[in-house]
Amino acid sequence: MKIDGRFWLTKENQSFLGAGRVELLHQIQRTGSINAAAKEMKMSYKAAWARINSMNSLADQPLIQKKIGGSGGGGTTLTPYAHELIKTYERLHELHRQFIDRFAEAGSDPQRLARILSRTFLTTSARNQIPTKISAIVQNGLHTHIEMPLSNENSLTCSITTKSAQNMGLTLGSEIYAIIKSSDISIVNTPPKTNQETNLIKGKIKLIELSDDFIEVTFSVHENTNLIAFLDKTTATSFTVGSEAYALIKTNHIIIGC
C-alpha cells in the first residue's frame, strides 16, 4: 500500500488548475495555437477550449491573448498573468509532492505516519533539514555521539549532550532530522586531513548561485539528498557544476530534531 494524492487548485468550489490544464497552457505558449496545443495533448479543439474557458471564467484576469499579424500570421499566446499563475501552481505542486513523499515513508504503518506528520511541521531557519534515522549511538560521559546515514557511502556523526539525548528519547533506529546551518558547511575540492570532530562528505557540485559577496552552493550527496552551503565569494572560481567535491561539517554544528 502506498500513500498518494493528486494536486488541484480550486476556486469558488470549482476545479481551477491541475497538471493537465497547466500542461495545456504550456503547449499553447510553445505552439502559439490552441488547435496545435490540443493536438499535442491528443484532445479535440472543443475539449481544449472548454478547459481554457473554464479557467478564464474563474481567473482574476484573462489567461490567453490573440497575437495579430507578424511573420507567423498571428496566433495565441499566454498573458503575463498566466505565466505568474503557472509559476505559483508549479511551486505549490512541488511542495505538495515533497509532502506526499514524506507520508510515503510510512508505508502502511499509521503510527509511523503519525511520527512523520509531527516531524513535517518542524520549523527552523536552518536551510538544511535532512530526514534520516540513527544507525549508531554511543554514550561517552557527558556527550553522546550519534551516527546517521546520508547515502550508501556517506554518513553524518553529531555530538550532543547525553542529557539532551535522554530527554529526546533517542535510541537506535529513531527517525530524526539532521539540522545544519548553511554557513556551518565548508566545501573543498580535495579531501583534507580530518579528525573525529569533523564530518567529511563526498559528493558533487549541483548548482552555484552568486550574490554580491557570497555564493550559495547546492552540494549533491545522493540523488535525493542535497546540502546547501553559504560560502565566501572568493572561493567561487574554484568550483564547477558537476565536479566532485567534499563537504566539511563539524560534529557539534549538527542539531538533532525529532
pLDDT tens profile 218-242: 999 987 789 999 988 777 667 889 9
| CATH class label, 9-104 | mainly alpha
Cα-based torsion angle of the residue sequence 148, 150, 151, 155 in order, rounded to the nearest 10 degrees: -50
Q: What angle do CA 156, 227, 147 make, to 5 degrees?
A: 10
Which residue type is seen at 236? A
How many angstroms separate the CA atoms of 165 and 143, rounded?
9
Using DSSP, state whether 131 is helix, strand or coil: strand
Whether the predicted pLDDT of 164 surpasses 60: yes
pLDDT tens readout for residues 74-131:
689 999 999 999 999 998 888 888 777 767 766 667 776 666 666 555 556 678 888 8
How many angstroms separate the CA atoms of 75 and 68, rounded?
7
How many angstroms separate the CA atoms of 129 and 13, rounded?
35
Q: What is the second-level CATH architecture of the domain 122-257? A: Beta Barrel (2.40)
Mean pLDDT along residues 52-61? 93
Q: Which of 45-59, 118-132, 177-191, 228-242 is the least confident region?
A: 118-132
Give the mean pLDDT of the chain: 86
How many angstroms separate the CA atoms of 233 and 54, rounded?
49
Across 86-100, b (16+ Cβ under 10 Å) vs e yields beebeeebeeeeeee
> How much is the pLDDT for 233?
78
Whether the predicted pLDDT of 42 surpasses 70: yes
Instruction: Quickly state the pLDDT bin for 246 (edges 50, 70, 90).
Output: very high
Share of the chain above pLDDT 70, in %: 88
Residue boundaries of the structural domains of the chain: 9-104, 122-257
Q: Do 9-104 and 122-257 show the same overall fold?
A: no
